[in-house]
Amino acid sequence: MPLGERTGDEKSESRYCGVETEFSDDMPQLLSSNLHGGFDFVVASLMDPTYRPSLMDDGSNGAGLLPFAGSDLVLSPSQWSGHVVGKISSWIDLDSEDEVLRTDSEITLKQEISWASHLSLQACLLPSPKGPSCANYARCVNEILQNLTSMQLWLRIPLEKSDSDAGGANPDHMIDSWDLWNSFRLLCEHHSQLSVALDVLPSLPSANSLGRWFGESVKAAIISSNSFLTNARGYPCLSKRHQNLMAAFFNHSIQIVISGEQLHSLPPGNLDTTANNSDNHNEGLHLHPLRSYLDYVAYLYQRMDPLPEQERFELGYRDYLQSPLQPLMDNLEAQTYETFEKDTVKYIQYQRAISKALLDRVSDEEASALTTVLMVVGAGRGPLVRAALQAAEETGRKLRVYAVEKNPNAIITLHSLVKLEGWEKEVIIVSCDMRCWDAPEKADVLVSELLGSFGDNELSPECLDGAQRFLKPDGISIPSSYTSFIQPITASKLYNDVKSHKDLLHFETAYVVKLHRVARLASTQPVFTFAHPESSTKRKNDRYKKLEFEIPCNTGSAMVHGFAGYFDATLYKDVHLGIELSTATSNMFSWFPIFFPLRTPVCVQPGIPLTVHLWRCCGSTKVWYEWCVSSPVSTPVQNPNGRSYWVGL
């Protein structure tokens, strides 16, 4: 039974648990006994482990039947595809010095994957490379991948604990299984159907080292019974670090596979229903020797906190590439406005900022006599107009609001809103681009919500530069400043999604993404800052920044697929708004991070800085970004002259 159905609360997509089995020539019985034992799928050998092509009778002229596990007819197509992951023979060694073994291995690998593909299996588990050199193994797998349709290949990689984690002094003997995986996938050109199955061992690497894997294409985690501890009642349990790792696997939709022999005997009649929360525990215990391990995994799953409402809302956007808005070139649609308007947290922050500005602008003694002129530039369908009027009511200040909006469709809604709310005396609607409007009077306060995921990427600087001329010399701009930030990330899924387009344009586009299956390799660093109003008469919005990132030493090597971008804005004085990780505004969903992909991913080593260059370029009709890496290797400058991606003025 799926783990998620045990409580009826679907906390993540990773709600199924499989079991690794030994070879059996009775596949129906093998599958039946494991499914009845509570498991959802089996990782099963498809070929007798004693089979070697070199031992076959050459006189058969190819007519001899290979000793597969029965025929494809022993299970229905839905059983094969829904409940069986093929396990490629563990003895194969395509990089062996023994030519016979190497040849047998290649023939067997191709035969088994061909058979698995014929059975329409969703995935096959490849054995871990036998040594540090895996070039021939990877070449053969890559050859197979070129003709594979939809089946995934999971490369088994042990989650090794390196000497550096254990405090070892000899760097020559450091083991990092990530390097093994990285070598293999580079030889296979980051193929999207090549993934990882991690072997979870009794001792774990450092937290930073583990964190790298959550940006990789990890499909399964295989945990052996010998990785479990024994609790006071004789039941299997896991260390706190293993428990946290399992929760992270669940959260990243990584399936769990239990492996090994039963090492924990359960006293008859002494079932721990607290630690093994399953209604079918008694039944399952007698059906399967590994049932107690399954129950413990289910218990860990059930113990997870339910996803917050905001996370549930954002589930469909996880790791989905979206092109950023073009606010000047395009008029937003009603559905886009509606989504943004539901973000009450954002407008509460704006209202707080406007209230503080009104109090600073008009003293209590002048409140009944003075009217503050406030201009909302880019008023949309009116949420900032509402926030401004609520701030005026809250502070007891008189307000005259100009709602400036270029979208003629939003103007219709604004007129309707003003009439509905009875704001005719306070609100003046202006249907015009803010950069072209000739204001009848100067503003005390200028309010806008032109910020993008990277702060300036929706042309807030250019728009506010154009609107600044109708702000009084001592006027207030809300926001008053904003800064962009970036950090290097491992993002295998995003990289492969961009790569699937097979063109330059998509690699030179910055995307808005709800980041999920990524590994953040270093802390964020500030990039570009803009302040409003801008007093300099020689102001330019071109920017250039060189940044150096250090990967923590206990992380190990890591792959940088691109950069995640964020922003933090000061609306007014101490009122902030943003998505930068250390200062992010809670429960706000108007912005997802931005993602700058690298055409060629860069492998970084601890202690060697990653040097990144980012440019914001301005032309007469467009604004664009260019980016590259200059250390530890040099990459081409991406998007020169905005050839692939730009924001139109």
Q: Is 433 annotated as a binding residue?
A: yes
The pLDDT score that the predictor gives to residue 535 is 78
Tell me: is residue 434 an annotated ligand-binding position: yes
Q: Give the pLDDT score at 173.
A: 47
**What are the start-end ranges of the E strands in 352-506?**
371-377, 398-405, 427-431, 443-447, 471-478, 481-490
Q: What is the dihedral of CA 507, 512, 515, 518, to 10 degrees?
A: 20
- The secondary structure of the chain in percent helix, strand, coil, rounded to multiples of 5, reads 35, 25, 40
Choose between 2 and 457: higher pLDDT: 457
Q: Could you tell me the pLDDT band of residue 272, with boundaries at 50, 70 and 90?
A: very low
- What pLDDT sits at residue 314? 86
Mean pLDDT of 510-536: 95
Pairwise CA distance, residues 340 & 343, whole Å = 6
The alpha carbons of the chain give a radius of gyration, in whole angstroms, of 30
Q: State the average pLDDT over residues 45-67.
A: 71
pLDDT band at 339 (very low <50, low <70, confident <90, very high): confident
Is residue 51 annotated as involved in ligand binding? no
Coil vs helix vs strand at 418: helix
For range 116-121, the mean pLDDT: 94
Residue 211 pLDDT more than 50? yes
Give me the pLDDT at residue 171, please: 46
Q: All domains of the chain, ordered by start, with CATH?
A: 3-52+67-166+173-306 (3.20.20.150), 334-449 (3.40.50.150), 485-648 (2.70.160.11)
Residue 113 confidence (pLDDT) above 90: yes
Range in 7-21, 157-171, 349-363 with the lowest mean pLDDT = 157-171
Confirm whether 458 is a catalytic residue.
yes
Position with higher pLDDT, 315 vs 396: 396
Largest CA distance in the chain: 108
- Measured CA to CA in angstroms, residue 536 lies from 102, 539, 620 at distances of 71, 5, 20
What is the model's pLDDT at position 267? 42
What is the number of alpha carbons within 13 Å of residue 477 lying toward its C-beta? 28
Region 345-351: mean pLDDT is: 97
The confidence band for 56, taking pLDDT boundaries of 50, 70 and 90, is confident
Virtual torsion, Cα 419, 420, 422, 428, nearest 10 deg: -40
503 is in an annotated binding site: no
Give the HSE-up count for residue 275: Cα atoms under 13 Å, Cβ half-sphere.
Answer: 16
Is the predicted pLDDT of residue 181 greater than 60, yes or no?
A: yes
**pLDDT tops 60 at residue 168:** no
206 band by pLDDT with thresholds 50, 70 and 90: very high
Predicted confidence at residue 55, as pLDDT, reads 86
Helix, strand, or coil (residue 339): helix
Mean pLDDT for 258-284 is 56
- Give yes or no for a contact between 476 and 357, defined as CB atoms under 8 angstroms apart: yes
Q: Catalytic annotation on 97? A: no
Question: pLDDT exceeding 70 applies to what percent of the chain?
Answer: 90
Residue 360: CB atoms within 10 A of its CB come to: 12
Summarised one tens digit per residue, pLDDT across range 6-45 is 444 566 667 789 999 999 989 999 999 999 999 999 999 9
End-to-end CA distance of the chain: 56
Position 1 pLDDT exceeds 50: no
- Residue reference for tokens 């829904």: 82
Q: pLDDT-derived band of residue 162, with 50, 70 and 90 as boundaries? A: low
∠ CA(393), CA(395), CA(399), 5° rounding? Answer: 60
Q: Is the pLDDT of residue 271 over 70?
A: no
pLDDT in tens, 396-449: 999 999 999 999 999 999 999 999 999 999 999 999 998 889 999 999 999 999
CA distance 607 to 484: 26
Q: Answer yes or no: pTM beyond 0.85.
A: yes
Question: How does pLDDT run across 80-90, given as a tens digit for each residue?
Answer: 999 999 999 99
Burial of 613 (0-12, 13-18, 19+ CB in 10 A): middle
Q: What is the pLDDT of residue 274?
A: 37
Catalytic position from the list 106, 458, 508, 580: 458
Q: Is 47 known to sit in a ligand binding site?
A: no
**Residue (of 37, 46, 51) closest to 80 by Cα position:** 46
User: What is the rounded average pLDDT of the residues 597-624?
Assistant: 96
Q: 237-258, pLDDT tens digit by residue? A: 999 999 999 999 999 999 999 9
Do the annotations mark residue 199 as ligand-binding?
no
Confidence of residue 284 (pLDDT cuts 50, 70, 90): very low
**Which of these is catalytic: 449, 462, 508, 626?**
449
CB 160 within 8 A of CB 202: no
Are 217 and 194 in contact, with CB atoms under 8 Å apart?
yes
Site of tokens 């040097």: 611
Alpha carbons 92 and 126: distance in angstroms, whole number: 10
